[in-house]
């Protein structure tokens, strides 16, 4: 894995009324709040969308992602973001 990539441990919940994909963090560190508005990538490092919002409980927040196109997500999907 490249030096500035962060693996996100997310669980897919479903789609919101605004057509955003909602995920729940399985592991979370408060320092990860800086990923807000970052691009999110799949395991092949292909861009799938942008993180629009982080909300909910501090320990395991929800992550709202605006995807570039209609996609389906599995429970074992791996996601990454880049810290600049």
CATH at residue 17: 2.40.10.230
pLDDT of 64: 95
Instruction: Report the domain count for the chain.
Output: 1
pLDDT mean across residues, the chain:
89
Q: For 4-28, b where at least 16 C-beta lie within 10 A, e where not — what string?
A: eebebebebeeeeeeebbbbbbeeb
- Residue 58 belongs to domain spanning: 5-82
pLDDT band at 72 (very low <50, low <70, confident <90, very high): confident
Average pLDDT for 46-73? 91
Q: What is the distance between the alpha carbons of residues 42 and 80, in angstroms, rounded to a whole number?
A: 6
Contact (Cβ atoms closer than 8 angstroms) between residue 40 and residue 8: yes
Chain segment 15-30, per-residue pLDDT in tens: 988 889 999 999 998 8
More confident residue, 48 or 76: 48
**6 in Cβ contact with 35 (< 8 Å):** yes
Instruction: Evaluate if residue 2 carries a pLDDT over 70.
Output: no
Cα–Cα distance measured from residue 5 to residue 43, given in angstroms and rounded to the nearest whole number: 11
């Amino acid at each position: 894995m490249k030096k500035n990539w962060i693996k996100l441990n997310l669980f897919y919940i479903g789609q919101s009324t605004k057509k955003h994909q909602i995920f729940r963090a399985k592991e979370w560190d408060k320092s990860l709040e800086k990923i807000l508005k970052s691009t999110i990538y799949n395991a092949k490092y292909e861009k799938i969308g942008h993180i629009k919002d982080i909300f909910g409980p501090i320990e395991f927040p929800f992550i709202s992602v605006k995807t570039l196109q209609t996609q389906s997500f599995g429970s074992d999907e791996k996601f990454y973001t880049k810290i600049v």
